[in-house]
Amino acid sequence: MDKYFIIDFDSTLTRVEAMDLLATISLQGLPQKEAAEKRIKELTDLGMNGEISFRDSLKERLLLLEAHEAHLSPLIDLLKKQVSKSFERNKDFFNKYAESVYVISSGFKEYITPIVTELGIKESHIFANDLLFDDQGKVNGFNEENPLSRDGGKAEIIRKLDLDGDIYVIGDGHNDYEIKAAGLANKFYAFTENVSREKVMEKADHIAPSLEEILFENKINSAFSYPKNRIKVLLLENVHHKGVELLEKEGFTVEEYPAGLDEDELAEKIKGVSILGIRSKTQVTAKVLENANRLMAIGAFCIGTNQIDLETAQEKGIAVFNAPFSNTRSVVELAIGQIIMLTRNIFDKSVLMHQGKWDKSATGSKEIRGKKLGIIGYGNIGAQLSVVAESIGLDVCYYDLEEKLALGNANKMGSLRELLETSDIISLHVDGRPENKNIIGEKEFELMKEGVIFINLSRGHVVDIQALKTNVESGKIKGCAVDVFPEEPKSNKDPFESELKGLPNTILTPHIGGSTEEAQENIGNFVPNRIMEYINTGTTTNSVNFPNLTLPRLQNAHRLIHIHKNVPGIIAKINQLFAKHEINIAGQYLKTNEKIGYVITDIEKAYSDDLIKELRAIDNTIKFRVLY
């Protein structure tokens, strides 16, 4: 290999500045700790940006440290946990190209060598400063004869190495750029996975958010078959920060937008986006998907997916993932709370109290024990509500179009009419399919008992709002709670309008059934992990519109992913091409549904560009991609 990679240590190979960590350790318990740590960070930034000489920065930082030889062991332990994620992912690169990789740092060998050698970098390829200690083991300076202790030191080391080949420098500081400025490197990569220094990036030949980006540029296989930063993620509607963090840590370029977007706005915004994350308000229509020229996956950070045109997404080879269980408990707890509040008429009494009126009366206030709760829709939420409700004394019945096993002592009703006529409390937990529009209307309200409690935590369009209003005003419905509405504001800044405002014993909430910190964090974990697994391995487990296929991790092979229309003969055509190109198949996985086929093939050897072109050209191919 005629390429050499010169890598910085602090904030490049590791996520942190080692001297900042050493300050935290060595100054522990000392009164000057906070001020010293702040000044050390300032000096680091000044030196890295080239605003003061590196030697001045180094000297002053060491004076502030109060460091001792005994502090090095805990420092090393901490640094081992702070190796940059993309470096950890690509240990194979360091082992394979050990002769071509050098670490040249202005930090100190005493803590750099134990970290770097664990990656597979040769000790003879590590160049760094040397600490000096007094008789008691206290750090009292550094070897000022070492070229790396002064400006231009890295360039001096490169000259002495006299490497015969192209030299690529990877770092985050001005002293890394100096190598290129001295005419000793072909390219300087400003490494921004951990820190972005504007003055350094301005001088860079290439900004690299991860090691994969650099390896991709140099046509070297990496842990991922593409640089992750080239995958653009668009997250709408204030997706939980945990989900944002996971996607950013994976190396994706993430753009957040606090509100939903209308169809035209999203149709324009979706261009160039690889992953779309939404919640319940955003409508992903056929028009939007027609403009989604790079879209691979959609994450619904909620339970429902009716806001997404799943059929069109499937036809375009776009996998959709949701979080079917993550906020179940939160919705159930809200339903239980609302049942108690409405049965006791607590909401209206609270409003009167805020108006200065004292209404201490038991009239119309009842216990829920022994009352009959009718659950419409016995999915994840309805079933869990059944269990919790029964545990606090409610008599539970349910109705569902599908055959569902009753939990506990719940009774399955033979018809919706039977449930409506016999229930004291009715709670809706159906999905948002078009057929469910206005499934509860004037006719259904007429069937209900006088004084019924009515709750809708499912979808806004499943209830005829005008009919609901009429029955609340007449007293037929003693109390109702509504969390979802046919028309909802796009953001918290937009006004809320509804015919239900101002009705007695009516609890209106802004679509927050699943909006607890726990639920949103669970969703923020679940959905990104499903998407990342799909992007990284091809696994489609929990996809709502793709054949579900769980795949093993890729081991010493290339993975070819072929999505196609489910027509006869595709798999034969694929395998004929492998035979034609003398490709040995290490593993093959196939699953279909009524519309599409999903074929994964792991191959053991290198392949030609012609093979890829021919696989893409197979009739009825929807999408094709390669994982290394």
Distance CA 84, CA 218 (A): 20
Tokens of residue 619, six digits: 């009739």
Active site residue: 125, 429, 459, 530, which one? 459
Kindly list the distances between the CA atom of residue 603 and the CA atoms of 220, 557, 570, 573, 626, in Å, as whole numbers in the listed order. 18, 6, 18, 16, 11
Q: Which residues is 423 bridged to in the sheet?
A: none
Inter-helix orientation angle 109-118/18-26, to 10°: 120
Distance CA 376, CA 439 (A): 10
DSSP 3-state assignment of 59? helix
Q: What angle do CA 61, 63, 67 make, to 5 degrees?
A: 90
SS (H, E, C) 392-415: CCCEEEEECCCCCCCCCCCEECCC
Burial class for 591, CB neighbours closer than 10 Å (0-12, 13-18, 19+): middle
459 is catalytic: yes
Tokens of residue 222, six digits: 């990496």
Tokens 């040397």 correspond to 130
Closest to 65 measured CA to CA, from 97, 107, 94: 107
Looking at residue 529, its amino acid is N
Kindly list the distances between the CA atom of residue 317 and the CA atoms of 103, 537, 623, in Å, as whole numbers in the listed order. 43, 16, 6
Burial class for 572, CB neighbours closer than 10 Å (0-12, 13-18, 19+): exposed
Distance CA 377, CA 533 (A): 31
488 is catalytic: yes
159 is catalytic: no
Active site residue: 240, 511, 558, 559, which one? 511
Indicate if the alpha-carbon torsion angle 547, 548, 552, 555 is positive or negative: positive
Tokens of residue 622, six digits: 């929807």
Looking at residue 547, its amino acid is P
Closest to 577 measured CA to CA, from 608, 549, 538: 608
Active site residue: 263, 488, 533, 614, which one? 488
Q: What is the largest CA-CA distance in the chain?
A: 93
Task: Report the catalytic residues.
Answer: 459, 488, 511
